[in-house]
Structures are given as C-alpha cells and as structure tokens.
C-alpha cells in the first residue's frame, strides 16, 4: 500500500501518521522522497487495512493498493488450474463442459424432453431455473420447490448432473442435497450472507458476475466462498451493463484471459443472458471457446415463443445440436474436447 502525501507536508505531520500506522501493528514503512511528493510505502499484512482510513489525515493526498486483495482465488498462490468435479463431470480440465436446459422448468414433460435433446447433442450438465429472479413482482417467479424436483427427476433419468439458481439461504439444505452445482445469480454476487453460507458447503458453486462487477469484485466474491472453506468455485461471465441498449447486456469475453491469468478457478460463459438474443448465441459461444473458456451455459427450449421466461434468448433443440457441432470444431483447434 502506498500513501501519497500532499506537497510540502511538514515532518511533524509525517511523524503523526507514522505513529498511527505503528499502532496498527506488523506494518513496515519505507519512504520515497520525490520532487514535490513524499510517499510512504507500507509492507507486511496490509490486507486488514482500509485504504480509506489514511485519507482522513488532511495532508494525505491519496492511497493506492498494491497487493491484490484476494488470496485463495489468486493464481499467484495456486499456480495450477483448479479442476472441479460436479456429479462426475470435470470442469476446468481438458474437456469443455456445456450446461444446457430451459431458463425455467415448466413441467416434467418439458424439462425431460429438453434434457434428452441436450444430452443427445452433447451437453454434459442440465441447467434449469426453479426460483427465478425477476425484475417485476408481477412476472412468473418459477415453480419453486416443485421445479427443483422436476429438474432433479430429469437429471436422474438422463444421467446428467444438474445446476440451478439458489435465491434464499432458507433453501441451502435442499439445494445441497438435490443439485450438483448451486448457481449464484448476478444480482446475488454480493449477497454476502448467502456467500458465507455457501462457504460452509463443499458443493460446487457457479458464481455469476454481477451486472456491474469489476474483475476484482468477482474474485472477492469467490474469495468469500473460499475463505469459509469451499474451494469449488466456478466463475461465470454473463454480460455487464454498459450504455449499449441493442443487446440486453454486453457480454465481456475479454474477462476470460484476465481471469485465467489472475485466478486458477474454471471460467464459464453464459451467452444466452449475456446477449439476450438467441441468434447471437452461436457466434459468442464459439468466441468464448476460442478465448479460453472452460465451459458454456446455454438456454434451450423446445418451444421458445411459449417459454414462460426469456424465450427470446433460448435456442431450439435443433439449433442447439447444430451449435454443438460447430463448437466441437473450435474446441479441437484449441486442443480441447467437448
């Protein structure tokens, strides 16, 4: 951490600040004397220090963090890729994992039919929404516990592990029992109470990036889960909010190489929510694999115009199976399998 002082700060002020830092304990101070500026460089365990604290001394101009605040999620301390086993499927290894299924579970027939189509086309994991975060209280909110049961049945019948979104800490136990991967939605990425609860499980967590979350914030959300002991975190890019209105979100594929460099955790991309438009899913899926993603999560619906949510971003099973064929070709070039 660097504390930049205002020009011509008197020595007695500097001493006052040094004494303050001294009382924090375990921090070593070094001076850099520039032309107009004195800088104090702090080393030691600075992760407990709030960088804003120093700004209260009126002779402090600015404080800059140097060290990354995430430790367990940081590749610096864990150079090897983390490979996560979710119901027998490895995520983060050589295989690219495609998770597919309906935005929301609507009936046993629907989810089973879609699950079979997805499996046939090569999907490894079945996704499906039971509890749906909707921006309107008047919109369909998902089938809830019944939806989770139906998804679970479809998973068992097709032999696919399942992933579904949790919205409440009240459902921790049932999710831990029923699903193979617990999804944390974008709007809950900084629901710290939920993250802490999930940190006590050993279940894989698919952590979606918040709508305006920085890379560091996404990794700090992962750190919350890992700090409590659950190392099975899968990071998921699903589009960020920008000024553009043509697409629902701006899918940020540039985060893939950054996450791969900064962290050892697997990275999955959601081109369905990331764009909000079904006809963009193919090109964005291919690009995600070319950029180094470990997996994809894609919405598939047997009858998109009658889907109870997000029909406009769902693929039909036919389009999905064509997509899988083109993904295999790209994966091969990248030295990976699907």
Restricting to residues 230-259, name those near its own copies by CB under 8 A.
240-247, 250-254, 256-258
Q: Is position 229 an interface residue for its own copies (rule: CB under 8 A)?
A: no
> Hunting for tokens 């992760």 — which residue is that?
47
Task: State the minimum distance, in angstroms, from the CB of residue 19 to its own copies.
Answer: 11
* Window 119-138: residues binding its own copies (CB under 8 A): 133-138
Q: Is position 212 an interface residue for its own copies (rule: CB under 8 A)?
A: yes
Q: Is position 337 an interface residue for its own copies (rule: CB under 8 A)?
A: no
Task: State the minimum distance, in angstroms, from the CB of residue 81 to its own copies.
Answer: 15
Biggest CA pair distance of the chain: 77
Q: Is position 325 an interface residue for its own copies (rule: CB under 8 A)?
A: no
Nearer to its own copies by Cβ, of 110 and 188: the residue is: 188
Nearest C-alpha neighbor of 185 from the set 201, 206, 170, 199: 206
Among residues 128, 274, 295, 317, the one that binds its own copies under rule CB under 8 A: 274
Q: Is position 288 an interface residue for its own copies (rule: CB under 8 A)?
A: yes
Per-residue contact string for residues 72-101; x = within reach of its own copies by CB under 8 A: ----x-------------------------
Among residues 11, 12, 25, 50, the one that binds its own copies under rule CB under 8 A: 50
φ/ψ of 170, rounded to 5, equals: -65, -20
Give the binding-site size for its own copies (rule: CB under 8 A).
110
CB atoms within 10 A of CB 158: 19
Among residues 214, 229, 318, 337, the one that binds its own copies under rule CB under 8 A: 214
Q: Is position 305 an interface residue for its own copies (rule: CB under 8 A)?
A: yes
Q: Is position 319 an interface residue for its own copies (rule: CB under 8 A)?
A: no
* Window 151-170: residues binding its own copies (CB under 8 A): 167-170
Q: Is position 47 an interface residue for its own copies (rule: CB under 8 A)?
A: yes
Stretch that binds its own copies, among 109-117, 150-158, 176-184, 330-338 (CB under 8 A): 330-338
Task: State the minimum distance, in angstroms, from the CB of residue 88 to its own copies.
Answer: 29
Q: Is position 145 an interface residue for its own copies (rule: CB under 8 A)?
A: no
Q: Is position 143 an interface residue for its own copies (rule: CB under 8 A)?
A: no
Task: State the minimum distance, in angstroms, from the CB of residue 13 to its own copies.
Answer: 12
Among residues 11, 12, 36, 202, the one that binds its own copies under rule CB under 8 A: 36
């Amino acid at each position: 951490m660097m504390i930049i002082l205002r020009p011509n700060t008197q020595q007695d002020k500097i001493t006052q600040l040094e004494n303050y830092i001294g009382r924090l304990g375990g921090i070593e101070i070094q001076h850099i004397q520039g032309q107009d500026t004195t800088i104090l460089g702090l080393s030691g365990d600075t992760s407990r220090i709030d960088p804003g604290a120093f700004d209260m001394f009126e002779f402090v101009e600015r404080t800059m963090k140097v060290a990354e605040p995430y430790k367990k999620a940081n590749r610096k301390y864990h150079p090897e890729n983390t490979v996560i086993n979710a119901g027998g499927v490895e995520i983060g290894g050589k295989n690219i994992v495609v998770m597919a299924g309906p935005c929301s579970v609507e009936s046993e027939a629907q989810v089973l039919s879609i699950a079979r189509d997805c499996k046939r086309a090569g999907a490894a994991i079945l996704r499906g929404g039971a509890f749906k975060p909707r921006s309107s209280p008047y919109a369909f909110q998902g089938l809830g516990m019944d939806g989770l049961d139906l998804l679970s049945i479809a998973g068992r019948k097709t032999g696919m592990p399942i992933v579904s979104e949790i919205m409440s800490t009240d459902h921790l136990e049932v999710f831990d029992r029923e699903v193979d991967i617990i999804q944390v939605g974008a709007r809950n990425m900084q629901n710290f109470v939920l993250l802490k609860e999930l940190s006590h499980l050993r279940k894989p967590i698919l952590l979606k990036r918040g709508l305006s979350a920085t890379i560091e914030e996404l990794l700090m959300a992962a750190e919350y889960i890992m700090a409590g002991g659950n190392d099975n975190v899968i990071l998921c890019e699903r589009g960020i909010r920008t000024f553009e209105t043509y697409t629902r979100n701006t899918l940020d594929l540039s985060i893939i190489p950054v996450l791969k460099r900064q962290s050892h955790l697997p990275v999955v991309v959601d081109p369905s929510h990331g764009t909000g438009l079904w006809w963009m899913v193919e090109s964005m899926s291919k690009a995600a694999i070319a950029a180094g993603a470990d997996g994809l999560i894609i919405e598939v619906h047997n009858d998109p115009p009658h889907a109870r949510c997000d029909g406009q971003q769902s693929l039909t099973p036919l389009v999905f199976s064509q997509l899988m064929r083109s993904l295999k070709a790209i994966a091969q070039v990248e030295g990976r399998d699907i």
